[in-house]
Homo-oligomer: A and B are copies of this chain.
C-alpha cells in the first residue's frame, strides 16, 4: 500500500509528521510518501533510523497554514503539500491521503480541487472516531457543513455505516441520530426530517440518541448536523481535558496528595489513554473519491502513525467503492426530499 502523507501538517511540522511516517513504514511495511519541503523532510529523516523502510519524498513548495484565510484556501494552494499529496491519490499514485493540517482546507481542496465528490454525494462529511472502554464509534458530520439538509444527513448515515463496518470492524452497525431526547418526535425540524428519510433506508437505524448513550456505546454510527456535531465533539474533548486538569490540581495540592498522585499515576494514565484522541490518530472525510484521513494539528508521531493505520483500514475495507454502491438507495430519496426541504 502507498500512503501519501502531508509532511507539513502538524503544529510542529514537519517533525512529528516525518517521525510518524517512519513509525508507520516500520510497523505496517507500507510505502509512505512524505510530501512537503524536501530539505526539511531530509533533515528530519537524517535523525531517524530508516534502514530498509519504504519512504519516498515528494517535494511541494508551499504549505497550508492553520490560519490560512478561507479566501486563500478556496483557490486550492496548488503548490501546497496538501494539494500535491491529494493529487497523488487522484492520479492513483497513492492509495490514501493523511494530514494533520487545516481541516477546512483539506475539506475544500479535496472536494473542490482534487479528489472531488463521489458521484451522487450531495455533501461530503467530516467525522470523528472515538474508542472508549473498547467500544468504537464514528460521529459525522462534525463540521464540513454548518447548515445541513435532511437528504445530506441521510447520506451521512449510509457513509458512516459503511465506514464502521468496513474499516472499524463493526458488524451490522447501529445507526442513530444525535438529538435532544430519544423519544420519537424529539429533535428540531432538521432532525425530525432527517429521521424520516433515514428510516426509509436499508440501515439498522435505532432512532435518536443523546450524549450519555453515545458514551455508553449505544450506537456505532452517530449522524449529526455539522454544526451540532462539531460542538458536541468539542464538548467531549473540553470536558475531558478540564476534568483531568482539576484532578491534576487536586493531586498536587499538598505533599501528601502529590505522593498519592504519584501512586495513582499509572491508573490515571490508563484512563487518559482510553480517552486520548491520539490513539485513533485521525478520522475520514467521507464522500470524496479517495481515502482522506485528517488528524489533530497537535498530533505527535504516535498519533500520525495511528492516523496512517486508520487510512490503511479504510483502503483495505474498499471504502470508496462501497460508498459508491451503498449510496444507490439514497439517490431517489435525495431528489424527492430536496423539494420538500426548507
Interface residues of A (CB under 8 A from B): 132-133, 143, 146-147, 178-180, 187-189, 191, 210-212, 214-216, 225-228, 230-232, 234-244, 246-247, 250-251, 253, 257, 260-261, 263-264, 267-268, 270-271, 274-275, 342
Most B CB contacts (10 A, CB to CB) among A178, A187, A267, A274 go to: A267
Q: Is the CB of A237 within 8 A of B212?
A: yes
Q: Which residues of B contact A230 (CB under 8 A)?
A: 180
Q: Which of B143, B191, B212, B253 contacts A180 (CB 8 A)?
A: B143
Q: Please give the distance in Å from A116's CB to the nearest CB on chain B.
A: 25
Question: Interface on chain A toward B: helix, strand, loop, or mixed SS?
Answer: helix
Contacts of A251 in B (CB 8 A): 264, 267
Q: What are 9 A-B contacts with C-beta separation under 8 Å?
A: A180-B234, A191-B227, A211-B234, A211-B239, A215-B242, A236-B239, A250-B267, A250-B268, A257-B264
Given contact pairs A180-B226, A235-B236, a sample of 12 additional A-B residue pairs in the complex whose CB atoms are under 8 Å apart: A133-B246, A178-B231, A180-B231, A188-B225, A211-B238, A212-B234, A212-B238, A228-B228, A231-B232, A246-B275, A250-B268, A250-B271
Task: Give Cα A232 to B342, complex, Å.
Answer: 25
Q: How far is the CA of A104 from the CA of B212 in the complex (A)?
A: 19
